């Protein structure tokens, strides 16, 4: 209960001075019970009395378990966690010997940053003597820290006098888990642009079932869990590590800074559900330069002295057009021979535009070897872009 200690929230009441109230307001939190512990007596096989007692338990297959089939009501106000749904019952009771009318109940939740008006259906035209009306209110808690539940009642006596009653209930909201995130920029030509690592620590003081952890990626990214997560039981202070790979859908730096946010769903020991969402995550996009080269298709293994194709795409990241020509530097490519002609014109690429081309390489080395020596010349700026160690291939 929230109105009567010790099961209640800290409460106080404001009324008119020396004014006797005709109605009272009771507020009770709705929470699930707990399984009652079970104590099974020990039996001495040499004691006839113990044997007779043991026989009385033969039809109870669960007598050896530490928990019974019975539920206990909460004896104290339990923690409210951030992300849970806080449900409580508001009961308006006419304790007087006369009827009251025009009873209206308003419920407001105050936090450190805002005031939230909660929906309450207690608008009673006439409340008879020794009768009551109740309503169940639910609210998803989205802010940690001290909360104050304010319940206000206005009503009229039979004589037409307007009376006012207000109660305050204070309670804290704590975080059930601690989430730490790290972002790692991937290497060039990796299948992902950035990796997100999240470490989730259970801080709620009891076991929890982490049902789901997923990334609500921004529109400029596509997210893939590595590997897909399965529901996991976390003990108190235990940490779960999850990793997500994100591929960019946009080449605009401003859009690529925004990653998205992490969301988690969990259940506590009696099945109470909760959901948390982190703030928006951002990353610092590494400098891409004016021109980038991306490998579109490349075999992971090739045969010695057998030519193979490499499909590439050039992306113009600057704000002006480029006039490009493809060249090869054999000195920086000791393990491969370029079979494609050097000096091939690639044409003009507009700002933010792309162009694709294919080169053929002949491997002349053994083992895992890097592909280097690709040069792209811009005739407008008289500049040469060098692309070395763009990928690795196993030669056998």
Q: Taking Cα atoms as reference points, which of 209, 146, 149, 198 lies closest to residue 174?
A: 146
The answer to whether the pTM exceeds 0.75 is: no
- Report the distance separating Cα 171 and Cα 169, nearest Å: 7
- Report the distance separating Cα 385 and Cα 377, nearest Å: 6
- Report the distance separating Cα 6 and Cα 149, nearest Å: 17
> Domain ranges in the chain?
10-32+75-174, 34-72, 177-282, 291-395
Extract the residue ranges of the chain whose pLDDT is less than 70: 1-19, 39-47, 50-67, 74-77, 187-189, 250-256, 284-288
Top-level CATH class of 177-282? mainly beta
Top-level CATH class of 10-32+75-174? mainly beta
Architecture of domain 291-395: Sandwich (2.60)
State whether residue 147 is helix, strand or coil: strand
- Report the distance separating Cα 373 and Cα 338, nearest Å: 9
291-395 matches 10-32+75-174 in CATH topology = yes
Q: Taking Cα atoms as reference points, which of 153, 149, 169, 137 lies closest to residue 105?
A: 153
140 to 81, 85, 157, 220, 307: CA distances (angstroms): 10, 4, 36, 29, 62
DSSP codes of every residue in 300-361: SEE-TT--EEEEEEEEE-SSS-EEEEEEE-GGG-TTEEE-SPTTEEEEEE-TT-EEEEEEEE
Alpha helix stretches (DSSP H) within 22-78:
48-56
Token duo for residue 82: 């951030």
């Amino acid at each position: 209960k929230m109105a009567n200690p010790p099961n209640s929230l800290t409460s106080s009441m404001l009324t008119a001075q020396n004014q006797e109230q005709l109605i009272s307001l009771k507020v009770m939190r709705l929470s699930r019970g707990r399984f009652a512990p079970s104590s099974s007596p020990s039996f001495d096989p040499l004691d006839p009395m113990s044997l007779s007692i043991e026989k009385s338990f033969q039809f109870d297959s669960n007598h050896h378990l530490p928990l019974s089939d019975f539920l206990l009501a909460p004896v104290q106000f339990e923690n409210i966690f951030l992300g849970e749904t806080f449900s409580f019952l508001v009961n308006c009771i006419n304790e007087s010997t006369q009827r009251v009318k025009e009873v209206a109940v308003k419920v407001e939740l105050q936090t450190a940053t805002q005031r939230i008006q909660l929906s309450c259906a207690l608008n009673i035209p006439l409340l008879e003597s020794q009768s009551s009306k109740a309503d169940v209110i639910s609210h998803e808690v989205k802010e940690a820290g001290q909360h104050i539940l304010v319940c206000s009642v206005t009503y009229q006596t039979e004589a037409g006098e307007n009376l006012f009653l207000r109660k305050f209930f204070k309670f804290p909201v704590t975080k059930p888990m601690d989430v730490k995130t790290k972002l790692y920029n991937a290497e060039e030509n990796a299948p992902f642009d950035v990796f997100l690592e999240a470490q989730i620590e259970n801080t709620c003081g009891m076991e929890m079932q982490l049902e789901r952890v997923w990334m609500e990626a921004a529109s400029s990214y596509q997210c893939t869990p590595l590997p897909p997560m399965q529901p996991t039981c976390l003990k108190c202070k235990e940490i779960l590590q999850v990793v997500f790979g994100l591929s960019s859908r946009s080449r605009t730096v401003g859009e690529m800074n925004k990653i998205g946010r992490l969301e988690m769903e969990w259940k506590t020991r009696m099945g109470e559900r909760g959901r948390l969402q982190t703030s928006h995550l951002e990353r610092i996009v590494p400098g891409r330069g004016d021109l980038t080269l991306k490998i579109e298709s490349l075999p992971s293994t090739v045969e010695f002295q057998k030519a193979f194709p490499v499909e590439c795409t050039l992306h113009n990241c600057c704000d002006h057009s480029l006039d490009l020509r493809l060249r090869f530097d054999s000195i920086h490519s000791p393990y491969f021979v370029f079979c494609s002609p050097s000096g091939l014109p690639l044409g003009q690429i507009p700002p933010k535009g792309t162009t694709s081309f294919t080169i053929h390489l002949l491997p002349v080395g053994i083992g895992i070897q890097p592909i280097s020596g690709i040069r792209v010349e811009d005739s407008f700026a008289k500049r040469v872009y060098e692309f070395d160690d763009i990928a690795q291939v196993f030669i056998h």
